Structure 1
Amino acid sequence: MKFVSPVSYKKDETYYSNNRTDIPSMLTGNPQKILEIGCGEGKMGELIKQRYECEYIGVEINCSAAHKAEKKLDRVIIADVEKINLTDYDITEQYFDYIIYGDVLEHLYDPWTTLYKHTQLLKDNGYVIASIPNIRNLEIIESLINGNWTYKDKGILDSTHLRFFTLQEIKNMFANCGYKIVDIKYLRDKPFDPNKIEGLINIDLPKVTIKNVSKEEALEFLSVQFVIKAQKVIAPETTKSFKCSIIIPVCNRLGYTKQCLDGLIKNTPEDLYEVIIVDNASRKETKEFLKCLEGDVKIITNTENLGFTKACNQGAKVASGEYLVFLSNSTIPQPGWLEEMIQLAESDEKIGVVGSKLLYPNGTIHHAGVVMDKNKLPSSLNEGCPANIPEASKQKDYQIVTAACMLIKRKLFFDVGCFDERHVSGFKEADLCQRVGKKGKRVVYSPKSILIYYDFKKRASNQKG
């Protein structure tokens, strides 16, 4: 049998002449100067130059492809981008409106440093556009479960790929390198309508089941590639302002707190919020964990357990966000949860409070709005029902929404007098929401803001309120 190394695959003739349209469609405005890393034969650059009267410079490591590109582009630099400094090629800092990396970053030894260094070449608020394969693709996962990781001459497991990325790691890379992602295209090789998914689903593979998959995760699993548009971030001012202050009371149960914070970090744009954790006299392991948290986090430490209600009021008093979000550490935020709440709150000035859809880990409903029953007690509607029932899938005004995940304007919260600390259990939110209603404001349930909820009633009764 003849030995063949996976990296000996020869690229076919179309490899360097790909004329893709998804990247050009993400260009906006009237760009004057564009740099493309890995320009190949210049087909895409030629298309963009026909659309915009711009200066277009390419960088290409393959000499044959580069010489063909020279006939189409304004200038082509034949070099390995990781081994050169582009400022040595008469390119000044803050020169480009756009830098394009079409199927390039995964081929680099250190794409992080390349992205970071290239921020200096972008104008203030300039953009990068990058297409990157998705290693979290469902077919790759299934292949790996079957014991296979077979390199090929093209595709996600292209034998010349050095780095592999999930969507979350792509987001981390751009954030750490000084960019803010403003748009993401999900490229699929099979048809898929995400609007058919309501709530959480399970994906059954022959050897494993992936449970509690959201619509956004399903879209990621079925994508072969992402096209990212990210904007250069200008150094922030010394004083930070936040859209939301997320207030999380905790008392022991460190596992719940960790998974809540993990979900929060993973599924929430970091520039939207600060976190305020109110520690109700937790044991040593929780205290040690909280000390290690970094970023925009404030910790309030109580010497005794003051309960959820008082802890929420404590957190609100040190909050700086336009909105307060009260969040139980028994929740796990899902993708888009906070953006949906903010969007709804800002859609009508009459909206005072927004509540989320909370689902048990098995996908059934914990909270989809609360009403007062005939005994004048708070009653959660549709609890235990499937997540996608019509009643729980529509935005609706209610008397009450749960404080396990509740958004309210900071000013309104203090205008109505905060939570009444005499109340515990469901009465604290009932009382608050009623006072909000008396101010002429609406209490609205958002079915698109979804969190997983682990029932506190099943926990040891070591946290009041």
Structure 2
Amino acid sequence: MSNRSQAQLVSPLSQSDQVSESLQEKQLVDKGSIVLSQHSRQPKLNPALSHYNLGLALAKKGKLEEAINAYQQAIKIDSKLAKAYHNLGEILSQKEQWQEAIEAYQKAIDIDPKVSWSHNSLGNALFKLEKFQAAVKAYQDAIELNPKCSWSYNSLGDTLLRLNQWKEAVEVYQKAIELNPDFPWSYYNLGEVLAQLGKWDEAVIAYRKALKLESDLPKIYEKLGDALQQQMRLYAEEAINLYHQAIQQNHDDVELYHKALEIQPNNAELYLQLCQLLVIKNELDEAIIFYNMGLQADSAKSEISEKFDLMELGNACVKKGKLKEAIFFYQESLNNHPDNDFISWQLQNAIAIQNREFTYSLEMVEYLRLVEPQPLTLNTSERPVISIIIPVYNQIVHTYNCLRSLAETLDGSLPFEVIVMDDHSKDNTQEVLRKVSGIKSVFNEQNLGFIGSCNRGASLAKGEYLFFLNNDTVVMPNCFQELLNTFKQIPNAGLVGAKFLYPNGKLQEAGGIIWQDGSAWNYGRLDHPNKPEYCYLREVDYCSGAGIMIPTKLWREIGGFDVRYKPAYYEDTDLAFEVRKAGYKVLYQPLAKIVHFEGISSGKDVTKGVKKYQVVNHQKFIEKWQDVLKLHRPNAVEPHLERERPVQKRLLMIDACMLTPDQDSGSVTAFNLIKIFQSLNYKVTFAPDNLLYVEKYTEDLQRLGVECLYCSYVTSIQSHLEAYGSEYDVVYLARLEFTEKHIDNVRKFAPQAKIIYDTVDLHYLREEREAKLKNSFELSEKAMKTKERELALMAKADCTLVVSMMEKQMLERENPDLQNIEFFNMPRDIYGAAKGFEDRKNILFIGGFQHPPNVDAVLYFVQDVFPLIKQQVNDIKIFVIGSKAPEEILNLSSEDVIITGHVPDISEYFNNCKLSVAPLRYG
């Protein structure tokens, strides 16, 4: 409540002297002039009363000093004349001689204590001297004598107001209003008291009543406005509490947040909660807007960060592919926590993705995110196939996240054990490892170094294969399966290493090169890891020991890491050379991927700590392997050839598209041809004419050791031939259209290479048969032109492959000069029958429907032949298997004609069907 003048605080009770006069006194005042004359003419009347009446008359005329003298004369004559004292007090009050007035009122009360107005007037005088407690007593005495007088209640209320006795004042004003409902000051001051009590609803009502009765009350409009504002604030608080409860019940309702913020536009927490929700709903632009509004609403930025994980918002944006927004949230988070490496790595990753330098799928981002240690369980086995050995020294957060990746990557399908070799760590490594169940934690009583820890861990291993893994790594899904399958696929594989990636997605190592001087290259370092040259299985000089697999038997035969390199460095390179010396291959498997936080475990400065042994051990390595190193190229000479030094012959295969051997016969043939070429020691590079990367099928070839070319790293087959054509010994071209497209460039840019032209089938022969079947002159003309084209290509090629002796003989008759035609029987795996002939039934057709002759064949068989069979054998069905069936084939479907589409594994159909048909009318 603001300070107010006395006139504002107190209702106009200072005029109560007029009210306190008795009716007789009022009549005498009205006859004041008569009384004066009577007094002068009749001095023998009651002199005290005469002087009293004279005082009344003089006071009426404003002659206050003379009135005072008259009352004093009356009192002098009659010291018991109470009303003379009272009226004397009234005149003194008008002159603001409050102390003298108080004494006069008190004298009147002493003489006649039953007069309520003397008590009331005494209270007024005491109020003026701010003797509020005494005034309260005087007003209470007045009310006791005259409980129907609203003035006394108003005065008492004003006094209680000054004493901050708000609750008591409310009751007093309410009584005053009850006695006199038309007095505006009662409502006004009641509103003041209620405002002090925060009872804004009631205060608004009181102020409104006061305003209705009198519009000129002091600041009445402002006070009513203030009360309404406070009332609104109370309603707003109630509403916001209700909205908060509603949000708890329906936390994904955006409209609730907007309603709440309309009431509380400065609630930073609400803004940030809305921001989180909008991120989830993929409304990221709005999320950032409301995040910024939240920061503006609350300057305590650090407090906001404690409540809201901005890094999580960034992660959510990355998952949705919204990199710009993710970078924004990561940067905000890093601003609040500049020393947090986790946030920094996430920011780098997002920037790398945005710059198309990031190789991980967006789904992998959460998997790669480092988290603080918590209880963890690994599903290890007592009879492991793989023993994973992790040497650690401090850096427990990285160790934990390495173990977490193992828990998420490995399940019961691949039995494994994990041996963590703690090389006398000084941090809380042991404390955290105790919370990880399923692992074998071994603590070295003294620091053994990397080599010592690995060798000791290997001695404890029970698995068929050992896998050495740095603790500052995160293993990607399927890593172990790919490594293990490599040993099964390559019989003389002795050591297999993974592809190493930096946390920002750039390549760290795609196998290693050792030069003639013993120096090492991490091949592909800092390049894009998806380039074709980094993505196929190949022999290498060595693989980084941060993630390598070796058969346990071979490891023990070699004797483990050579201790001459203690404590670390060059031990992994030396091991690779020992593996080759023992007659085995060292292989790089790119489909096994590991993220490596390089430098965490040993630092990067080669002049300090364990890292200095990198220089020392270099010389030891040269001394041990100098005879082998003489066969290597000098440093940095032709690294693209040195990366695969064992390769002696190279073959480029160009076909229409990526091979899909589970969908078409042509792909099966080409796939098996690749294996044949590899068995003849050719390194095969495969180039689909469309240069498309088809995830599963491209990886199948890369897993086989085939380098696959694809955009956007290869712009065209011609550009590849221009750059590398001179390296190829053989170029294999398949199909008429694509051989025709590329054969001249092959001759131009790879003149030394032999060209093999695979017809797949004779196109012109197929077209001739189709023309005859359809009796079409136009098709016959087309077949003649195709024949000319095919014969021309055969003349350009060094060797032409056909699929039958009939085709070979036909071509030699057409052109006796063609001496390069070779019949090549399509290579196929032949599986024995699982059931006897009598135990099988039904008919099978298999073929891809992108090949038109197959469409014609099935239509012909089902419509013209199968009904004749049904007449003889009623209980029989035909299964039509093949991809890309057109609508006309799908329309054949019935109870007896089953159109299956593409079937990944057709063995069950071959095992159970009695007859396979190929009713080709042409082709």
TM-score by length of 1: 0.51
Say whether residues 1:413 and 2:555 are aligned partners.
yes
Say whether residues 1:401 and 2:519 are aligned partners.
no
Say whether residues 1:312 and 2:430 are aligned partners.
no
- Rounded to whole Å, the distance in 1 between the matches of 2:324 and 2:521 is 41
The aligned counterpart of 1:429 is 572
Relative to structure 1, the CA distance from residue 348 to residue 384 in structure 2 (aligned partners, 3 Å threshold; closer, same or farther) is: same
Letter in 2 for 1:349: P
Matches within 5 A, 1:34-433: 142=282, 203-205=321-323, 207-208=325-326, 211=350, 217-218=361-362, 240-272=382-414, 273-295=416-438, 297-424=439-566, 425-433=568-576
- Rounded to whole Å, the distance in 2 between the matches of 1:463 and 1:254 is 19
Contact 1:251/1:462 (8 A) holds in 2:
no
| Superposed displacement of residue 216, structure 1 | 7.8
User: Higher Cα Rg: structure 1 or 2?
Assistant: 2
Letter in 1 for 2:467: V
Letter in 1 for 2:594: L
Residue by residue over 1:8-59, the C-alpha shift from the partner in whole angstroms, topping out at 9 and shown as x without a partner, is xxxxxxxxxxxxxxxxxxxxxxxxxxxxxxxxxxxxxxxxxxxxxxxxxxxx
User: How many pairs were matched up?
Assistant: 265
Counterpart secondary structure, 2:282: helix
Contact 1:357/1:367 (8 A) holds in 2:
yes
Letter in 2 for 1:409: P
| Superposed displacement of residue 371, structure 1 | 1.8
Contact 2:498/2:592 (8 A) holds in 1:
yes
Residue by residue over 1:348-387, the C-alpha shift from the partner in whole angstroms, topping out at 9 and shown as x without a partner, is 2200111000011121121111121131123221211111
Relative to structure 1, the CA distance from residue 219 to residue 374 in structure 2 (aligned partners, 3 Å threshold; closer, same or farther) is: same
- Where relative contact order (Cα < 8 A, 6+ residues apart) is larger, the structure is 1
Q: 1:458 aligns with which of 575, 583, 603?
A: 603
Counterpart secondary structure, 2:400: helix
Counterpart secondary structure, 1:354: strand
Counterpart secondary structure, 1:429: helix
Letter in 1 for 2:541: Q
**Which segments of 5 or more consecutive residues in structure 1 lack a partner in the other structure?**
7-138, 148-199, 222-235
Contact 2:360/2:505 (8 A) holds in 1:
no
- Rounded to whole Å, the distance in 1 between the matches of 2:485 and 2:392 is 28
Residue by residue over 1:253-304, the C-alpha shift from the partner in whole angstroms, topping out at 9 and shown as x without a partner, is 1121122112221222255321100111101411211222201x11111122
Residue by residue over 1:183-213, the C-alpha shift from the partner in whole angstroms, topping out at 9 and shown as x without a partner, is xxxxxxxxxxxxxxxxx99943452257488
Counterpart secondary structure, 1:208: helix
| Superposed displacement of residue 390, structure 1 | 2.0
Letter in 2 for 1:142: N
- Rounded to whole Å, the distance in 2 between the matches of 1:240 and 1:352 is 25
The aligned counterpart of 1:194 is none
Relative to structure 1, the CA distance from residue 202 to residue 374 in structure 2 (aligned partners, 3 Å threshold; closer, same or farther) is: farther
**Which segments of 5 or more consecutive residues in structure 2 lack a partner in the other structure?**
1-245, 251-278, 288-317, 328-348, 366-378, 614-923
- Rounded to whole Å, the distance in 2 between the matches of 1:260 and 1:419 is 23
- Rounded to whole Å, the distance in 1 between the matches of 2:586 and 2:281 is 42
The aligned counterpart of 2:48 is none
Contact 2:359/2:506 (8 A) holds in 1:
no
Relative to structure 1, the CA distance from residue 423 to residue 239 in structure 2 (aligned partners, 3 Å threshold; closer, same or farther) is: closer
TM-score by length of 2: 0.27
Letter in 2 for 1:339: Q
Relative to structure 1, the CA distance from residue 305 to residue 374 in structure 2 (aligned partners, 3 Å threshold; closer, same or farther) is: same
- Rounded to whole Å, the distance in 2 between the matches of 1:375 and 1:201 is 46
More helix by share: 2
Contact 1:378/1:426 (8 A) holds in 2:
no
Residue by residue over 1:129-172, the C-alpha shift from the partner in whole angstroms, topping out at 9 and shown as x without a partner, is xxxxxxxxxx957359966xxxxxxxxxxxxxxxxxxxxxxxxx
Counterpart secondary structure, 2:428: helix
Contact 1:357/1:445 (8 A) holds in 2:
yes
